[in-house]
């Protein structure tokens, strides 16, 4: 039975590898998706920043044109003042001039704010371009490496399955049946005794039980968690 226990330990390692490989079919593509999302997020941020700068420049230019137009109107109104003959005409013209002055003042404030925003946002474009280039290159390399792992998963699983078949064929049928039954409920199936207790659930055992486990003459399971108990001598007493 000691030989069967040793073989089941080998089998347990193989099963662990197979389980990890199966899980990798999910988490490896997820890792690729995260890398792609990181790159796309930077690309979107760069596009948004470029669009913001473009729009600020367009708005600034439009406000400057409007100011020029209103200033031209002010000059024309200034000349018309010389020809005014009534107070009513004078008041109306002064109201128009005041409106133009307010519009000019508002646009000047808008232009000033736009210049401040441009001073802040424009340098970000080069920074984002550089960051995007670096991240894209690094993420593409990682993506390619992850894809290679994905492409090789099925081959690795087949190798482990062949190894599992080889090891299983050497184990007593009763023992392998117990192993598979326990494995459906919990893993690991085999656990070492640690400090006179189950290495999985920490259920403590009396000295007589410890001696039985040490001998390794049969399959002894933990009466609490149901796992097969083995003695490795490490930290056991």
Q: Which secondary-structure segment (H or E) carries 221?
A: none
Backbone phi and psi for residue 81, each to the nearest 5 degrees, phi listed first: -60, -30
| Structure tokens that stand for 153 in this block | 């998963």
pLDDT 10s digit of each residue in the chain, 237 long? 789 999 999 999 999 999 999 999 999 999 999 999 999 999 999 999 999 999 999 999 999 999 999 999 999 999 999 888 899 999 999 999 999 999 999 999 999 999 999 999 999 999 999 999 999 999 999 999 999 999 999 999 999 999 999 999 999 999 999 999 999 999 999 999 999 999 999 999 999 999 999 988 889 999 999 999 999 875 544
Q: Supply the pTM of this predicted model.
A: 0.70
* 2-169: CATH number: 1.10.287.1490
Give the residue extent of every domain in the chain.
2-169, 174-230
Distances from the Cα of 103 to the Cαs of 73, 96, 179, in angstroms?
A: 12, 11, 85
User: Under DSSP, is residue 231 helix (H, G, I), strand (E, B) or coil?
Assistant: coil
């Amino acid at each position: 039975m000691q030989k069967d226990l040793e073989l089941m330990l080998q089998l347990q390692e193989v099963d662990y590898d197979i389980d990890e490989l199966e899980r990798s079919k999910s988490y490896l593509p997820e890792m690729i998706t995260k890398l792609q999302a990181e790159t796309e997020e930077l690309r979107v941020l760069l596009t948004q920043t470029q669009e913001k700068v473009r729009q600020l420049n367009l708005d600034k230019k439009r406000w400057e044109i409007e100011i020029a137009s209103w200033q031209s109107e002010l000059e024309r109104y200034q000349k018309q003042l010389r020809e005014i003959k009534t107070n009513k005409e004078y008041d109306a013209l002064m109201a128009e001039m005041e409106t133009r002055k307010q519009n000019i003042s508002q646009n000047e404030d808008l232009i000033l704010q736009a210049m401040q925003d441009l001073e802040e946002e424009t340098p970000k474009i080069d920074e984002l371009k550089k960051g995007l280039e670096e991240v894209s290159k690094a993420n593409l390399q990682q993506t390619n490496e992850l894809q290679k792992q994905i492409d090789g998963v099925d081959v690795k699983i087949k190798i482990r399955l062949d190894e599992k078949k080889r090891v299983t064929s050497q184990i007593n049928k009763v023992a392998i049946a117990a192993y598979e039954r326990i494995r459906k409920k919990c893993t690991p199936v085999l656990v070492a005794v640690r400090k006179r207790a189950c290495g999985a659930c920490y259920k403590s055992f009396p000295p007589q039980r410890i001696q039985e486990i040490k001998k390794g003459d049969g399959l002894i399971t933990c009466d609490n968690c149901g796992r097969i108990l083995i003695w490795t001598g490490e930290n056991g007493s």
